[in-house]
Amino acid sequence: MSSIKDRVIDIIAQQAVLEPSDVSLDSTLDDLGIDSLGLVESIFAIEEEFDISVPFNANAPEDSEFDISSVASIIDGIEALVKDQS
Amino acid sequence: MKRVVITGAGTINALGHNVPDTLEAMREGRCGIGDLEFRDVDRLAIRIGGQVRGYEPETRFNRQQLSLYDRFTQFTLIAAREAIGQSGLEFSGELAARSGVVLGNSGGGMTTLDENYRSVYEDGKNRVHPFVVPKLMNNAAASHLSMEFNLKGPSFTVSTACASSNHAMAQAFQMVHGGMTPVMITGGSESMLCFGGVKAWEGLRVMSKDGCRPFSANRNGMVQGEGAGIFVFEEYEHARARGAEILAEVAGYAMSSDASDIVMPSKQGAARAIKGALADARLNTSDVGYINAHGTGTAANDKTESAAVADVFGAHADRLMISSTKSMHGHLIGGTGAVELLACILAVRDGIIAPTIGYDEPDPECALDVVPNEAREANVSVALSNAFAFGGLNAVLALKRFG
């Protein structure tokens, strides 16, 4: 099985309609053209993929415990959640 | 008051994926009703319907659009692209700011509801896709239509069960007629051919297991259909100034409420709507050559509707033609009046009266010329379209040949 990092990048790339190789770790979702609906859809896809629950509230994304400021921060967050929730 | 004309029409339904194919099927008296195909159909007692076949959503919409568009929204956009394309209108500036969308719909995103209830109840999942709400809401189709074509004026969805589209088109007509806006996009859509959608109707015991035979003595119920019909209603001078092709004139309408029963129709309520539409359009009963009947194929509707027509038209009732095209495309519920308006355009513009197919035996309680089984050529200058909904809410439109 590929790494958490690769699987998260695949999901984000699919949402952004890009190749995974075009998604860099320091990109923000904004850079990738993912809007608020795209973000909640990505989080849903991530929850399905890893069977975890992501603490994210679309009303106040910046106040959520889950850091979505870059692809790298999302991957870190998912890795922590997978560890905690497994 | 402004004159209102139709400058674009579009559809997708069991008879065709566009207007020309649908009108050809109506001329040929073709039946679009067949065996239903979807998950768990074997658990239904009713297994026939007017399903849209040979439709591949992926050829019309991209993945992101499909994640947001329920089937009823997809049908709406397909029909709208055809209608607005035909009209030649492009919406920008002042025209965009004033033009809006009024659509009829009854069940909203019923297939989205069905799939997601199945997922949480049957499959025990605890998570649903984030777009369930924006997909299933009844106004989703009107909203996506307004976004795709930049329509920024008054836009909303009307829900009056089987009369939804007629109420919507009546409202759109009134807005153009009264000078509020030069253009409205209107019509309606429905897609409830899924396990839950048909199961609910099955419970009411009004559905036929073998076919829709309106006005025929051996009729045994209604058959559901699906699809959309969309029209461009335009102020006449606006259409003329740009040299638009005019399909027909919308002459008037009326609405009424039976105020009596949640499912049984009323002769008086239907008659008041028919009479009111003629008065609004300033027409005499003798002007009407064709009526597209509500004609559901249920015992109750067809005899009540026949009696209402006989009451309103008197001796002229025996001279006019009345047919139910639901025998071909099924009952599209909230979208039905929109697809049926196409039969009225066929009558006044092309002089062809779509038949009531499946007609086997005369019923003395429906003793009108129902154009049995074969289309007919006739010179008709005025057509009415009837819609009498569950809940006793009625809306009748009057269409006139243009010119």
Checking DSSP bridges between strand B155-158 and strand B183-190, what pairing results, if any?
A: unpaired
Neighbours of B66 (CB within 10 A): 15
Do A48 and B131 lie within an 8 Å CB cutoff? no
CB contact under 8 A, A44 and B67: no
Q: By residue range, what is the domain housing residue A42?
A: 4-85
pLDDT at B237 (0 to 100): 98
Instruction: Output the six-digit token pair for B145.
Output: 């239509």
Instruction: Give the DSSP letter of residue B393.
Output: E
pLDDT at A61: 74
Domains of chain B in sequence order? 4-241 (3.40.47.10), 252-400 (3.40.47.10)
Would you call B392 exposed, middle or buried from its count of C-beta atoms within 10 A (0-12, 13-18, 19+)? Answer: buried
B379 and A CB contact within 8 Å: no
> A residues 51-80 near B, CB within 8 Å?
none
Our answer to whether residue B331 is catalytic in this structure is: yes
Tokens for B22, please give them: 């649908």
Residues of B in contact with A17 (CB under 8 A): 64
Q: Is B366 a catalytic residue?
A: no
Closest residue in A to B64 (Cα–Cα): A15
Residues in chain A closer than 8 A to B130 (CB atoms): 37, 40-41, 43-44
Mean pLDDT of B303-323: 98
User: What angle, rounded to 10 degrees, do the helices at B299-313 and B267-280 form?
Assistant: 50
- Which residues are B248's β-sheet partners? B6
> What amino acid occupies position B135?
K
pLDDT at B403: 83
Contact B8, B45 (CB under 8 A): no
Set of chain B residues whose Cβ sits within 8 Å of the Cβ of A44: 127, 129-130
Q: Would you give the DSSP letter of residue B43?
A: G
**What are A9's two structure tokens?**
């990048």
Q: Does A40 touch chain B (CB under 8 A)?
A: yes
In tens, the pLDDT along B238-263 reads 999 999 999 999 999 999 999 999 99
Pair of tokens at residue A45 = 């896809």
Length of chain A: 86
Counting residues of chain B whose pLDDT is more than 90, the rounded percentage is 99
Q: How many domains does chain A have?
A: 1
Output the pLDDT for position B278: 98
Alpha-carbon span B397 to B337, nearest angstrom: 9
B243 inside 8 A of chain A by CB: no
Asked whether A19 and A27 are in contact (CB, 8 A), the reply is no
- Whichever domain contains A30, its CATH number is 1.10.1200.10
Binning pLDDT at 50, 70 and 90, where does residue A1 land? low
Within 8 A of B129 by CB-CB distance, chain A residues are 41, 44
B162 is catalytic: yes
Q: Which of B271, B194, B192, B255 is nearest to B227 (CA)?
A: B192
Q: CA separation (Å) from B73 to A84, B114, B200? A: 41, 16, 21
> What's the CA gap between B87 and B103, in Å, rounded?
18
Q: Does B123 touch chain A (CB under 8 A)?
A: no
Beta pairing class for B48-49 and B321-323: unpaired
Tens digit of each residue's pLDDT (9 = 90 or more) over B38-74? 999 999 999 999 999 999 999 999 988 999 999 999 9
**Chain A environment of B64 (Cβ under 8 Å):** 17
pLDDT at A85: 79
The residue from B238, B294, B344, B366 that is catalytic is B294
Neighbours of B386 (CB within 10 A): 27
On whether any CB of chain B is under 8 Å from the CB of A10, the answer is no
**Distance from C-alpha of B84 to C-alpha of B59, rounded to nearest angstrom:** 19
Q: pTM score, two decimals?
A: 0.95
Element (H, E) at A12: helix A4-16
Which DSSP letter does residue B245 get? -
Cβ within 8 Å of residue A55, ≥6 positions away:
A64, A65, A66
| Helix (H), strand (E) at residue B257 | strand B248-257
Note whether A25 contacts B: Cβ–Cβ < 8 A.
no
Catalytic residue among B167, B238, B329, B331: B331
Task: Write out pLDDT tens, residues A9-64.
Answer: 999 999 999 999 999 999 999 999 999 899 999 999 999 999 999 988 888 777 77
In B15-152, which ranges are continuous DSSP H helix? 19-28, 63-68, 71-87, 93-98, 110-117, 132-136, 140-149
Residue B321: in which H helix or E strand, if any? strand B321-323
- Contact (Cβ atoms closer than 8 angstroms) between residue B216 and residue B363: yes
CB contact under 8 A, B130 and A17: no
Of B402, B18, B58, B38, whose CA–CA distance to B244 is shortest?
A: B402
Is A17 within 8 Å of chain B by CB?
A: yes
How far off is chain A from B159, nearest CA to CA, in Å? 27
Instruction: Please write the tens of the pLDDT for every residue from B84-120.
Output: 999 999 999 999 999 999 999 999 999 999 999 999 9
Given CB atoms, is B59 within the 8 Å cutoff of chain A?
Answer: no
ipTM over 0.90: no
Which tens digit of pLDDT belongs to each residue from B182-234?
Answer: 999 999 999 999 999 999 999 999 999 999 999 999 999 999 999 999 999 99
CA B129 to chain A, closest CA, distance in angstroms equals 7
Alpha-carbon gap: B63 to the closest alpha carbon of chain A (Å): 10
User: What does the pLDDT read at residue B135?
Assistant: 97
Residue B240 parent element (H or E): helix B236-241
H helices of B262-371, where?
Answer: 267-280, 299-313, 326-329, 336-350
Mean pLDDT over B149-167 rounds to 98
The candidate with the shortest Cα–Cα distance to B344, out of B389, B395, B397, B403, is B397
φ, ψ of residue B304 to 5 degrees: the values are -65, -45
Tell me how far apart the alpha carbons of residues B79 and B85 are, in angstroms, rounded to a whole number. Answer: 10
Q: Cβ–Cβ of B130/A47 closer than 8 Å?
A: no
Amino acid A60: pLDDT: 79
B131 touching A, CB under 8 A?
A: yes
DSSP A40-74: HHHHHHHHHHHT------TT-GGGSSS--SSHHHH
Distance CA B341, CA B348 (A): 11
Which pLDDT tens digit goes with each residue over B348-383? 999 999 999 999 999 999 999 999 999 999 999 999
pLDDT for res A57: 85
H/E run at residue B12: strand B4-13
pLDDT of residue A58: 82
Q: Which residues of A touch B69 (CB under 8 A)?
A: none
Q: What is the pLDDT of residue B251?
A: 98
What is the DSSP code (8-state) at residue B399?
Answer: E
